[in-house]
Structure 1
Amino acid sequence: MADIPGLAELRYDTPHFDVVRMGEFVLCAISGARIALEDLKYWSAEFQEAYSGPEEATRAFLQHRGADFR
């Protein structure tokens, strides 16, 4: 994990996440945007990634599973 001041390390679960290393934000796995912990609403427990919104979460799912997923 990158050593960025304020970057938190989380363990993503369903329907919550646990803080492994305290911080103020995480990074979106798709856009790289900073997401304040209090604003974090989208993540994947399976892929252990955070997303800044539903579009990024969908894009990540398609990247991991492929557009042909059924």
Structure 2
Amino acid sequence: MLMNKSTGAGSEAKLHYGPNAFRVLRAGKYVLCAMSGVPVPLEELRYWSAEYQEPYASAQLAAERLAK
């Protein structure tokens, strides 16, 4: 995970998702899960799709999305 020095206080981050890491484009504290809409704190973000450029709150949600 590559992060800028500035941080957004309680705001949604904008990320670019790569195959092994994500890059912060706009600082923030969380992203919204593409499947559930649940906020996922950046320090807890473990699942995303580089192809779809989407974050997921859990492995189960990621698997469901990628199975479509």
**TM above 0.5, one fold?**
yes
- Which whole-Å deviations, capped at 9, do the CAs of 1:17-46 have from their partners, x for residues lacking one? 000000000000000000000000000000
| Greater fraction of residues in helix | 1
Residue of 22, 28, 38 corresponding to 2:33: 28
Q: Alignment RMSD, CA only? A: 0.9
The structure with the larger Rg is 1
Structure 2 distance, partners of 1:14, 1:62, is 17
Structure 2 regions of 5+ residues with no counterpart?
1-9
Structure 1 regions of 5+ residues with no counterpart?
64-70
Tell me the number of residue pairs that the alignment of Structure 1 and Structure 2 aligns.
Answer: 59
Which residue identity lines up with residue 47 of structure 1 in the other structure? Y
Identity score, percent: 42
**TM-score under structure 2 normalisation?**
0.83
Structure 1 position 14, deviation (Å): 1.5
The 4+ residue runs of structure 1 with deviation greater than 4 A are none
Q: State the partner residue of 2:53.
A: 48
Structure 1 distance, partners of 2:39, 2:15, is 14
